[in-house]
Structure 1
Amino acid sequence: MTPMNEEFDRVRDTNTADAPWEPIDEVDVVGGHPSTRTLLLFESAGPVEAGIWEMSEGAARDVEVDEVCLILAGRASLAINDHPPVEIAAGSFVTLRAGDRTVWTVHQSLRKLYIVTTL
C-alpha cells in the first residue's frame, strides 16, 4: 500500500521482502537452520512497538517480552515454559508474558503481526 499523499503517513506496506534474513544465534537454535526477519511498523515514544516478524523452518528458543501476536501465515509448534507444545497456524492469537521461555518449532515459514510493550 502506498499513502495517498505525503501528508498521510499512517498507511504502511507490510511487505517484508526487503527486510534482511538474520540467522538466529547458535546458542538459541534447537534444530535446523532457522532465521528471522522483522519489519517494524510502529514505535511509540512510550514502550509500544508493532511489526511483522517471520521465522523460517527450524526450531529456536527465546525469552519473551510482553507480547500479543496474530499468526498470519505458516505453521509451528510453540512450547511455553516447558509446557507441552501447542500447534499454531494462520488465525492463531498468542499472548506471551515477559520472561516466558519459549521454543518455536516452525514447520512452515511463520509470519506474525506482533505488538509488544517493553516497560
Structure 2
Amino acid sequence: MSTLEPGEVTDAAALGLAHEPVAADAATSGAPTTGVVELGAFAGAEVGVWEMSAGGMRDVEADELFVVLAGSATVEFDEPALPAIELGPGSVVRLAAGMSTRWTVRDTLRKVYLAL
C-alpha cells in the first residue's frame, strides 16, 4: 500500500504484510518473522502497521505509540528496568527511543503505530 491520504480508509487488520525472518542476532526463541506496511506520516510521525509471528526477539525502540489489533505477547524491559507488560487486542502502549526490550509473541501480534 502507498501513503494513506486524507479521507481514505484502510483495514489495518486485513492488510497483507510481507514477512522477513528476524535477524539471527536479534532472535531469542523460535524463528520469528516480522512484516510492516508504512501508511505515511501524520504530524511528523511515521504511521504504519507492524506484525510479528510467534517467537522471541530483542529490539531497541523508537519513540512510539501503538495499539494492538490482534495477537498476544509479553514485552520485557532490559533498559530501563521496568515491569514486563502483557499485550492483547486493545492494548495501547507508549515506548521511548532507546528502550531495550525483549518481545515474546505467543499468537501473531499486529499493531498500528505512530513513531518518531
Q: Among 63, 73, 76, which residue is 1:76 paired with?
A: 73
Q: Among 18, 34, 37, which residue is 1:36 paired with?
A: 34
**Aligned mates of 1:8, 1:60 — CA distance in 2:** 35
User: Tell me, what secondary structure is at the counterpart of 1:26?
Assistant: coil
Query: How big is the alpha-carbon RMSD for the aligned residues of Structure 1 and Structure 2?
Result: 2.0
Partner residue, 1:98: 97
User: Tell me, what secondary structure is at the counterpart of 1:27?
Assistant: coil
* 1:114 maps to amino acid: Y
Q: Rg: which structure is higher?
A: 1
108-117 or 84-93, which deviates more: 84-93
Cα distance, 1:20 vs structure 2: 1.2
Aligned length: 109
* 1:99 maps to amino acid: G
Q: TM-score, normalised by structure 1?
A: 0.82
Question: Can you list the C-alpha shifts for 1:63-107, whole angstroms capped at 9, x where unaligned?
Answer: 011000001110000112243422111111110000000111001
User: Tell me, what secondary structure is at the counterpart of 2:90?
Assistant: coil
Q: Which runs of 5+ in 1 are unaligned?
A: 1-6
**Aligned mates of 1:8, 1:76 — CA distance in 2:** 32
Q: Which runs of 5+ in 2 are unaligned?
A: none
* 2:45 maps to amino acid: V
Q: Structure 2 matches for 1:1-119, cutoff 5 A?
A: 10-14=8-12, 15-17=14-16, 19-43=17-41, 47-80=44-77, 81=79, 82-117=81-116
Q: TM-score, normalised by structure 2?
A: 0.84
Q: Tell me the percent identity.
A: 39
Is the CA contact (8 Å cut-off) linking 1:66 and 1:116 kept in structure 2?
yes
**Aligned mates of 1:16, 1:37 — CA distance in 2:** 11
